[in-house]
Amino acid sequence: MSESSAVSHRGSRWQRPRTWVLVLVGLLAAWFVVSLGMLAWHAREANAALATMTDQIAAGDSAGAAASIESARSNTRAAQSGITSLPVSALNVIPYFRTNLTGADTFLDAALQVLEGADVTNEVYAQLTGDDQPAFKDGAINVAALQDIEPQIEQVADDLSGADATLQQMPADISPVLRGFVDEAQDQIDGIQRGLQIYENILPDLPTLLGEDQPATYLVVFHNPGELYAGGGAALSAALLQFDQGKMEVVDKGAVSSHFFPGNPRVPWDPVAKGPYYAEENAEDGFAWSNLHQDYRITGEDMMRSWVANGGQPVDGVISLDPVALQAAVAATGPIQSDLYGEINADNMISKLFFEGYNEDPAAQEQRHQINQQLLDEMIARMQDGGAALSIGRAIFSTAPSHGIRVHLSGDRLADVLQEARADGAQPDPEPDRIAFYTQNQNASKVDIFQTRMLIHDVQLDADGSATVVQTAKVTNNAPDDRAVRSRTGSGTPPDGRSTGTSCCCPTTPRT
């Protein structure tokens, strides 16, 4: 074929309609792919900015948080524009895509409303942690500062209510992937709204709680899961926290059995729990064992009664913290250095302070007790630091749903608020059925730290689709056989190192 004929052949190819159609389709496909890519990029950038914003607000970087909020807002709007513009909007002709594009647009509308609330939240946090009128300074809580932010709190509540209402308009048949994002956002909004409601409900009582007219004293108890009772670990360390006109002071602290009540004596007292937790009459259980009931609304009152019966002054409430709450506080404020344990961080705290501690040389026990108290002292000192107080409080209260922190106030004050905050330590609803084993030994043994639990489910499916389920809970105490280890798991350990008293909480009527 000659050169002239080859050129002529190529020219005729571009003159064919099919060629132009293919080129046009290719260009449209490229446009569509690029548009989807940009849409995904904007969504990813908005999500990353939101995550950064949360950390920046918590760290007090209000300028950085404001920039992240603006970045999230601009990327959210760009993503929304991509959904409502060609070529992506052309997919609306297909019912499935129309439903999900509508859902995505609705979701982004709600996100923009949340960002309006984030703007105000950032301003409030900067106000509470700034120099002009901080909420916490020199160990004192500024009640007026907490009251002054009420208008901003109401604005945030309105923004979140708008976002909530927008999410309620979401099409019911959106894809599972989008539904997952919506449900996650709904949970987050619900949690923030719960917190705002708690603020509104507690605001009138803040002056009394913080000792504006007369000092308010709270018993703070640290629980050791080495003795695993239904109401948490044994109450082996405690502190008395007093508020006087907002000023917070730790007026006393130490080990229960050596500082507050040496020898943890048995004294007569009148527990609310009664039998089978305590004797029906003439109960004489030491304070360390005053939390045997699984519902903290009862246990909290029992602990306050036992405290007074042992000679302690009446308190206005009791706050229980378990290792998970302390772990959250360490995660929020950074590691603690220990001469005995080295660096204590959120990842190793529980194993270092509890499990490994009970495998140490007997001569180190006294040192361990002193070091543990020093670690608690360090955490209490951080709580009194204005810069860290808000972060610690937020971290500790994040553990409330799993009972990391539980609060009971005298006279059942603010019971509804504590329930809303999930900090009252109430037992969950009886459904579904639950089986729980609790240790109830009172011999100061720490062998509970070696417990393991196994759940065995035997399921028989019936022809009608129903099922009969037999659930077996097996608790094994794997205390070491070595006598030297047994002697280090606490004074009063039975000769075999394994004996414990247990109680079982299970449904009264099995269901199929």
Q: Which residue has the tokens 């089978």?
A: 276
Assign 465 to helix, strand or coil.
coil
pLDDT at 240: 95
| Nearest of 35, 24, 131 to residue 81 by alpha carbon | 35
Q: What is the mean pLDDT of each run of 10 residues along the chain (512 residues)?
A: 49 63 74 80 88 82 93 94 88 91 94 94 86 78 89 94 94 91 89 87 93 95 81 86 91 90 89 82 85 90 95 96 90 85 85 62 61 78 73 87 93 91 82 63 64 82 86 74 51 39 54 44
Q: What is the dihedral of CA 437, 442, 444, 450, to 10 degrees?
A: -20
pLDDT for 283:
84
- Encoded amino acid at 172, one letter: A
Q: Residue 483: its pLDDT value, please?
A: 54
**What is the Cα–Cα distance from 200 to 150, expressed in whole angstroms?**
8
Instruction: Give the type of residue at 67.
Output: A
- Dist. CA 239–CA 383, nearest whole Å: 13
Q: With H, G, I as helix, E, B as strand and everything else as coil, classify residue 309.
A: helix
Q: Which one-letter DSSP state was computed for residue 283? A: B
Q: Which residues contact 188 (CB under 8 A, 6 or more apart)?
A: none
130 near 142, Cβ under 8 Å?
no
Domains contained in the chain, CATH given: 16-207 (no CATH), 208-420 (3.40.630), 436-505 (no CATH)
Q: Exposed, middle or buried: residue 155 (CB in 10 Å: 0-12, 13-18, 19+)?
A: middle
- Residue by residue, DSSP assigns 67-78 as HHHHHHHHHHHH
The Cα–Cα gap between 298 and 271 comes to 9
How many whole angstroms separate alpha carbon 491 and alpha carbon 365? Answer: 11
Calculated CA dihedral for residues 382, 384, 386, 387, nearest 10 degrees? 0
pLDDT score at 333: 87
pLDDT, position 445: 62
| Amino acid 439: pLDDT | 65
- pTM for the model stands at 0.78
Give the pLDDT confidence score for residue 367 in this predicted structure. 67
- Six-digit token string for 497: 């190192």
Determine the pLDDT at residue 451.
73
Amino acid at 24: L
Q: Give whole-number Cα distances, 122 to 45, 68, 156, 303, 394, in Å.
A: 20, 11, 11, 39, 15
Per-residue confidence (pLDDT) for residue 233, from 0 to 100: 81
Cis check: omega of the bond before 215, within 30 degrees of 0: no
Beta strands in 270-382 (DSSP E): 317-321, 336-338, 342-344
Query: Which residues are within 8 A (CB) of 508 and not within 5 positions of it... i.e. 6 or more apart?
Result: none
